[in-house]
Structure 1
Amino acid sequence: MTSQTTAPSAQQQGSHHWVMTLELPGRAMNTLYGTWTPPEGATRHDVFMAIKTDIGREAPEMTRANVVFFSLEPNQL
């Protein structure tokens, strides 16, 4: 059996994989994930803030959400 995938190839993905869980206490909890290629010299904090800001742009109600979990790992096995 041959399986095919429609996922983007590694070259089309970012250099790092991230997962972030946000919570609005008593109202909502959301886990988001994706890939990201940080600019040269970026720190983990820079990436954290950029991702959280992007999430806030897409879902303004999550701008003030509490970060329950954040993971940033190289996107390779």
Structure 2
Amino acid sequence: MTSQTQTQTQTGQQQGTHHWVITVELPGRAMETLYGTFTPPAGATRHDVFLAIKNDIAQQSPQMARANVVFFALEPNQL
């Protein structure tokens, strides 16, 4: 995934164009909520971004590769 997960407060210009939140669960074993920003490439769909985030989670935490998605939100990163 080409996004960067943002864990510090930064100005809008340093963040991606979209903010995402995802909660994944391995029933009875683990649940994790992650968030960050992402700037999708031109022509990308919401599904493309979802898969990129899921793939990034799997790379960072291989045990979560088959986790169930409990929640997913992707919104423009602006007020």
TM-score of the superposition, structure 2-length normalised? 0.89
Matched, 1:38 2:40: yes
Hey, what's the Cα distance between the residues in 1 that align with 2:58 and 2:11? 28
- Summarize deviations over 1:23-43 as a string: whole Å, max 9, x none: 000000000000000000000
- The number of residue pairs the alignment matches comes to 72
Taking the TM superposition and a 5 Å limit, the aligned residue runs for 1:1-77 are 7-77=9-79
State percent identity of aligned pairs.
72
Deviation at 1:8, TM superposition (A): 1.2
Q: Distance in 2 between matches of 1:9 and 1:55?
A: 25
- Which of structures 1 and 2 has the bigger CA Rg? 1
AA paired with 1:44? R
Moved over 3 A (4+): none
CA RMSD of aligned residues (A): 0.8
Measured after TM superposition, the shift of residue 7 of structure 1 is 1.6
Q: Secondary structure in 2 aligned to 1:38?
A: coil
